[in-house]
Structure formats: C-alpha cells, structure tokens
Amino acid sequence: MDSISITGIRCYGYIGFFPEEKVLGQWFEVDLILGLDLNAASKSDALEDTVDYGRIVNTVQQLVKNSKFALLEKAAYTIATAILQEPLVQNIKVSLTKLAAPIPDFSGKVTIEITRAKEALVYNSFS
C-alpha cells in the first residue's frame, strides 16, 4: 500500500468541551496519511489517477471550521469518514492537534490519532 502524507493543515474551529471553546474557538492542526494505490498515477502522471490534495485540505478546513464537537475524538472520526469517501483512499490516519488546550498550568498540545479503513466503515454501516 502506498501513501500520501498531508501535514500542517491549520484550521480555526469550535471543537471543545468548555463553553468558551464553543464560542471563542481556537486553532487546530491536522496531519493526514492516506493509504492508496499510486501505481496508476505513477505511470500516467494524471491527476485523475490520484487524489486532489487541494480538495482534501479544503474538506478538512471546512469540517473543522463549520462543525461543533465537544471532543477531538469525534472531530477526527468525522474527518476520517469524509476523506474515506474519496474513491481511491483505502485507509487513513488522522492526527488532530489542539494547539492550546485550556488546561491549567499546561502550555503543551493535545493530539488525537485515529486510523480507519474503508472496509471497516462499510462493515460498521451494516452492524
């Protein structure tokens, strides 16, 4: 399985448990690793044989900007599910980072990483 990494997607959104996070919003960073077969694109040199990176970035930015989730876990799952709708993408790893988590005496970041596969989504839709 080949992969495409798209890293450093910065988005402003309203993901958070606390009321002020839902009103004020904050910056997030998303990194993706898309699992897919790049054989056709490597031979044809044609965009239609791979994924459009710009469309992927736009999808992530719009989801983070326009969705309101209490948990990073739900936001990461929603991003994964949306990107897995791309016909060529077979699996995905999403890393979603809250750059300034409102935790007293903490100046670090919090990152959620999830990995999902297209087959698992199809199976789960029938469960």
9-54 pLDDT per residue, tens:
999 999 999 888 888 999 999 999 999 999 999 999 999 999 999 9
- Read off the amino acid at residue 111: T
Identify which has the larger pLDDT, 124 or 26. Answer: 26
Q: Report, as an integer, the average pLDDT of 4-9.
A: 98
pLDDT for residue 126 is more than 50: no
Strand ranges for 17-86 from DSSP E: 26-36
Active site residue 98: yes
CATH class of 2-126: alpha beta
Q: Report, as an integer, the average pLDDT of 112-123.
A: 84
- Encoded tokens for 109: 């970041």
Identify which has the larger pLDDT, 23 or 58. Answer: 58
pLDDT at 123: 53
Q: Which residues of 16-41 are buried (b: 16+ CB within 10 A; e: fewer)?
A: beeeebeeebbebbbbbbbbbebeeb
Give the chain's mean pLDDT. Answer: 93
Q: Report, as an integer, the average pLDDT of 93-114.
A: 94
Q: Please give the Cα distance from 3 to 31 (Å, whole number).
A: 13
* Beta partners for residue 4, in sequence order: 34
Predicted TM-score (pTM) of this structure: 0.90
Q: Please give the Cα distance from 10 to 100 (Å, whole number).
A: 13
Q: Report, as an integer, the average pLDDT of 91-110.
A: 93
Q: Which of 74, 98, 109, 118 is an active site residue?
A: 98
Phi, psi at residue 24, to the nearest 5°? -85, -30
pLDDT at 102: 85
